[in-house]
Structures are given as structure tokens and as C-alpha cells.
Amino acid sequence: DAGITQSPRHKVTETGTPVTLRCHQTENHRYMYWYRQDPGHGLRLIHYSYGVKDTDKGEVSDGYSVSRSKTEDFLLTLESATSSQTSVYFCAIGGSSYEQYFGPGTRLTVT
Amino acid sequence: RKEVEQDPGPFNVPEGATVAFNCTYSNSASQSFFWYRQDCRKEPKLLMSVYSSGNEDGRFTAQLNRASQYISLLIRDSKLSDSATYLCVVNMGGQNFVFGPGTRLSVLP
């Protein structure tokens, strides 16, 4: 399995609070991605990174920000969590072949 | 029309059966295609990339039909362990990966 971890694995938080999810890789892959998965939808891209301090928006980026200060770490921040952001969040890593490898996911509940 | 569509299933098949899934995509300029499997409450795992000439990996065969804009996955001699949701993924250019909603497969003893 690809060396990719996510923390925390589960989190319950209240509406309006900031939340940060962490993705860590040991594979030295250039690309890192944050997706969310909701019932009835395929995985949807939130943000991705193509290098240290290089990030770009995905399909559902509103309400989210990211940072990548080191190759191995990619952080996703919900600036002010809302109930619509209750979801399962997956981090993925990838290289030049476009194949992606996913972390175990974080289940986030916003009450 | 959604960018990537899949029959949601579920497909319920007996062990040993052959089952096929199709996935259609809307962007004719798409270049890269993949099948992932996802077990319940787990992360997606890459099953295989799909090449223009078609490719096979053991009991799994993937094919691409660019003219009709679909990819397919064929599973032969189904095992209980093949029970999962199969996700079709299409790269629409750059880092724009579009995931289908998945097709659920249950292999029955």
C-alpha cells in the first residue's frame, strides 16, 4: 500500500468552528489531492497541489483552503464548518502517470 | 448529462459468473481512464488503468471504446472477495479527474 496517512480519522465538530485535516505521504509524490465523498455523488475534487506552495482549486473548493509547506504534508482547512461539509474526506497522491493512491479517509460530522 | 455515468447496480451474481460493467463519459478529449474498487467504508484502490488497446490483469479485462465514449470492465470467474463498488475515473485534462458514482457488485455463494 502507498504510504499515505490521514489524521484525524474521525471528527465531530460544531457549526462555525475551524477544522484542519492532515494528509501525510512517504512516497515523495508530486501531486496531492483532497476529495470529498457523499452519498449519490462520485468523489469530488476540492483542491489539489502540484508542489510545495503550489495549489489549485477543484470542483467544490468554496469554504475550503489548503496549504502545502512540505512535500509530504497537505492540509485541508474548513474555515468555518457548516453542516453541508459533513462528509468523508479522502486525500490522494499521484505522479506523472495520473494514477492516484488514496489515504484511509477522515469521517467528519458537523453538528 | 453527467460527465461520467455508471449503472449503479447492484449487480448480484453467483460465484464463478462473468460480469461486465460499463462507464460512459462526455468529454471526447479525455485521455486517461481508470477503474478503482472501493470496499464499504474504505478508500478507493486502483484496480487498473485502461489503455487504448485494452488490457488484462488476471481475471480482469478493461477496454476503451473512444468512438462511443465508454470504458468497460469484465470480471471472469467472480470470487466472493470481488464484492465491492467499482468506480470509473476519467481524466478530463490536467488534474481534472471525474469519478463516476460507482457500480455495486455482490458476489453470492
Among residues 73-92 of chain B, which lie with CB inside 8 Å of chain A?
87, 89, 91
pLDDT of residue A6: 98
Tally A–B CB contacts below 8 A.
Answer: 47
pLDDT tens per residue across span B8-20: 889 999 999 999 9
End-to-end CA separation in angstroms for chain A: 33
Cell match 509547506: residue? A69
CB contact under 8 A, A98 and B34: yes
- 3-class SS of residue A73: strand
End-to-end CA separation in angstroms for chain B: 37
Other CB atoms within 10 A of residue B3 CB:
17
Task: Answer left, alpha or beta for residue B27, where phi above 0 means left and psi between -120 and 50 means alpha.
Answer: beta
Cell match 478529449: residue? B29
The answer to whether A92 and A104 are in contact (CB under 8 A) is no
Looking at residue A72, its amino acid is: E
- Which residues are bridge partners to A101 per DSSP? A93
pLDDT of residue A95: 81
Residue A44 forms contact with B (CB below 8 Å): yes
User: Which secondary structure element, helix H or strand E, spans residue A7, and what is its range?
Assistant: strand A4-7
Q: Which of A77, A67, A65, A73 is nearest to A19 (CA)?
A: A77
Q: What is the mean pLDDT of residues A49-57?
A: 94
A40 neighbourhood in chain B, CB within 8 Å? 101
CB contact under 8 A, B44 and A40: no
pLDDT tens per residue across span A64-107: 999 999 999 999 999 999 999 999 999 999 987 889 999 999 99
In SS3 terms, A23-42 reads as EEECCCCCEEEEEEECCCCC
The answer to whether B73 and B11 are in contact (CB under 8 A) is no
Burial class from Cβ neighbours inside 10 Å (0-12, 13-18, 19+) for residue B49 reads: middle
CB contact under 8 A, B4 and A42: yes
CB contact under 8 A, B99 and A42: yes
pLDDT of residue B94: 86
Cα distance between residue B37 and residue A21, in whole Å: 24
pLDDT of residue A47: 97
Other CB atoms within 10 A of residue B81 CB:
8
- Which residues are bridge partners to B75 per DSSP? B19, B60
Checking if the pLDDT of A1 tops 60, the result is no
Tell me which residues of chain B have a pLDDT lower than 50.
none
Distances (CA, A) of B60 to B11, B32, B33, B68, B88: 16, 18, 15, 21, 14
pLDDT tens per residue across span A78-90: 999 999 999 999 9
Closest partner residue to B101 among A33, A41, A90, by Cβ? Answer: A41
CA distance, residue B75 to nearest chain A CA (Å) = 21
